[in-house]
Amino acid sequence: MYTLTSLALSILPNSTQNESTSESSIPPLPSPLNPPYSPSTVLLVYCITLLALYNYSKSLRRFTLCSVLTIMSFSLTTLILPVQSLNHFFNFQDYYLYSILHYLVLTPYVVGLGFVIGPVLIVLNEYSRPPPPPPPKPQPQTLPHKKPFDSSNPLPLSHLQTSPSLLLLIHDQIYDVTQFSKIHPGGDIIQKYKGKDCTDVFEAFHRPRVWGGLGRFRLGCLREEDRVQPSKATLAYRTLRSHLWQNNYFTPNPTYYLHKHLIWISLILLSITCLLLDPNFFLRVIFSAACLGLGLQQAAFLAHDAAHNSINEPPKKGKINWLSWFLGSCVFGISIKMWTVEHSLHHAITIRPREDPQFNYLPIWMLDLKELENEKVDGKGGYKMGRFVKLLVRLQHFHFLPLVLIVGRVNLHAISIVYELKNLLNQKSITPYTFLGLLGMLIYWTWYLALLSCLPTYFDVIIFAVISHISAGVLHIQLLLSHMDVNTCTEEEEDKLGFFKFQCQTSRNIKVKPYEDWFHGGLQYQIEHHLFPQLPRHQLSNVQPMVEKMCEEHGVVYRSDEFGVALRGVLRNLKELAWAVVTLDQ
């Protein structure tokens, strides 16, 4: 096969005299000869894509290599073989061969320029500013729960458990939040802890400045003879949490999150660029859809972080978390309010049978036998299985992956629309934020349908939609692997274990290579994320050894499996549960 250089040198001398012959013999090629885009536009978009990955180019050797490749590819493609002049050099009767060559030449043209711009901008960025000052040494601070214990107005445990008011126990202090529960930003999750100790749940979900504001709700303290000493594991967990707050682990790194934003933006721009290429080149549809799905997946990870307030400070009372709304509703296309309420409940009662809204999959999948009717779940009857439900459960290990990849995202759209419409109908008063959820989803469907309108045939539209949903559906597999094939706990079992042990037993980490970290979006550190929901993503890997060591010291189960091992374990567990259902009928 000729190289581009030898091919160009062999044909350049005769290109002028054979121009008319070549033009007359080439069949009409609408897009490659008259592309609907300008090269500068394509180059700009591709350069943005390459710049999103600039944090992988940190060595001088890599800069040098990039420069050499740039000179070679840029000179070959722009000086010797201009893309717009291919028809002057070749006489192809095969249209597809022509299209393939078109893209082979376009690729180094774009990548080459990106190799130039990327390193130059990195160097300018690094050397045009003074070196940052060393980080300040963390100053120990007194956390609110470390203040002297207020022993005034002691109350018996029976008062906490039988009072009609909504009373909570936090560090043996009793708080009456009956009125506040009506405007609680986290929703009805607060009702789950009526008359119970919610110390660790409260501190996991709220910042220290909120801890200090509990005084206005204080009713009294728990009587000394009714107080229960926390386990050593719980005390170790609280000590670690205080250590992380005091040493600024919860402070986000703006540069880190800027990189993550560039990745999803670049993937979506790359998807749009592919749709503007030759409409007769079918592979562009597949590549564009895959890029869009991955871009949406990365945007969803950031929406998740923003909703946990790990990117910026929580919004003030009555305000909107605009970042999570934009990423979750406008980009990913779901109701971020619905997701936040459900996800907060998921963090508090992780995979509790029939109560965790994000892991309540019957009648399609059964995660534990505790969900069935012949088991009592928190004093309530379980799920009564009809014939059709039994059939689905018996086959759950077969249809698990197809449904997760294809239907999972469609289901999110459906329940988001239903939630927002119900919320709209139940509104007693109209505010500027009433229609915000529907507006965000409308923005999403506007730009998504505009992308689909760029495709020439209905077949292309279907292929694009399916592949983009499958690519984004990988996110759902990542979520499910973190909490399937693990222990499930009822409310009584959670209370006995304590928050720390309970979260470790109901979660699993996924072992990944360093270069795979961006793809999993922090979900691979699921145990650490559930123990410290507000911890920024870039700190999870730093905290992971601390948590694993703490679990080892106190005999707490710490599960960490490779992606393939976890997936096989989940499928095996689904099969075992399916056979258990068959056995129950016999």
Same-domain check for residues 158 and 118: no
Q: What is the pLDDT along the chain (586 residues), one digit of tens a residue?
A: 333 334 333 333 343 344 444 444 444 433 333 444 444 544 554 554 444 444 444 444 554 455 445 444 444 444 334 444 444 444 444 444 445 545 444 554 444 444 444 445 444 444 444 444 444 444 444 455 556 666 778 888 888 888 898 999 998 899 999 988 888 877 788 888 988 999 999 999 988 888 878 888 888 888 888 888 899 999 999 999 999 998 889 999 888 888 888 888 888 888 887 777 766 777 888 988 998 999 999 999 999 999 999 988 877 766 788 899 999 999 999 999 899 989 999 999 999 988 888 888 888 888 888 887 544 444 444 556 677 778 888 889 898 988 888 888 888 999 999 998 888 887 766 666 778 889 999 999 999 998 888 888 899 999 999 999 888 888 888 889 999 999 888 888 898 999 999 999 999 999 988 778 888 888 999 999 999 999 999 999 999 999 999 999 999 999 999 999 999 999 999 999 888 877 766 5
Phi, psi (degrees; rounded to nearest 5) at 30? -65, -50
Q: In the structure encoding, which two tokens stand for residue 279, read together?
A: 């409409």
State the greatest distance between any 2 C-alpha atoms of the chain, in Å, as a whole number: 103
Per-residue pLDDT at 374: 45
Boundary-marking domain end, from 229, 257, 278: 229
Measured between alpha carbons, how far is 301 from 479 in angstroms, rounded to an integer?
11
Boundary-marking domain end, from 183, 209, 229: 229
Helix, strand, coil % (nearest 5) of the chain?
Answer: 65, 5, 30
- Exposed/middle/buried for 440, CB within 10 Å: 0-12, 13-18, 19+? buried
Letter for the amino acid at 175? Y
Q: What is the dihedral of CA 566, 572, 578, 582, to 10 degrees?
A: -160
Per-residue pLDDT at 429: 62
Phi, psi (degrees; rounded to nearest 5) at 314? -60, 145
The CATH code of the domain that includes 174 is 3.10.120.10
Per-residue pLDDT at 505: 93
Same-domain check for residues 78 and 119: yes
Same-domain check for residues 87 and 163: no
Residue 158 pairs in a beta bridge with none
Number of CB atoms found within 10 A of residue 427's CB: 11
- Please give the residue range of the domain that contains residue 39: 30-127
Residue 194 is assigned to a structural domain of this protein: yes
- Omega before 363 cis (within 30°)? yes
Measured between alpha carbons, how far is 72 from 116 in angstroms, rounded to an integer?
11
Same-domain check for residues 61 and 98: yes
Residue 391 is assigned to a structural domain of this protein: no
Same-domain check for residues 73 and 38: yes
Residue 549 is assigned to a structural domain of this protein: no
- Omega before 252 cis (within 30°)? no
Residue 56 is assigned to a structural domain of this protein: yes
Residues 487-516 as b or e (16 or more Cβ within 10 Å = b): ebbbeeebeebbbbbbbbbbbbbbebeeee
Same-domain check for residues 156 and 121: no
Measured between alpha carbons, how far is 276 from 80 in angstroms, rounded to an integer?
25
Same-domain check for residues 153 and 202: yes
Same-domain check for residues 40 and 123: yes
Boundary-marking domain end, from 229, 258, 278: 229
Residues 91 and 21: beta-carbon distance below 8 Å = yes
Same-domain check for residues 123 and 196: no
Same-domain check for residues 96 and 57: yes
Helices (H), 426-509: 436-452, 458-481, 491-497, 499-505
Residue 244 is assigned to a structural domain of this protein: no
Residues 310 and 256: beta-carbon distance below 8 Å = no
Residue 92 is assigned to a structural domain of this protein: yes
CA angle centred on 336, ends 264 and 427, rounded to 5°: 155
Phi, psi (degrees; rounded to nearest 5) at 223? -60, 140
Measured between alpha carbons, how far is 406 from 122 in angstroms, rounded to an integer?
39
Per-residue pLDDT at 585: 60
Residue 270 is assigned to a structural domain of this protein: no
Per-residue pLDDT at 457: 87
Per-residue pLDDT at 136: 43
Number of CB atoms found within 10 A of residue 42's CB: 19
SS (H, E, C) 207-236: CHHHHHHHHHHEEEEECHHHCCCCCHHHHH
The number of folded domains in the chain is: 2
Same-domain check for residues 123 and 190: no
Residue 73 is assigned to a structural domain of this protein: yes
Same-domain check for residues 121 and 153: no
pTM passes above 0.85: no
Residues 497 and 505: beta-carbon distance below 8 Å = yes
Q: Which residues contact 8 (CB under 8 A, 6 or more apart)?
A: 76, 80, 81, 89
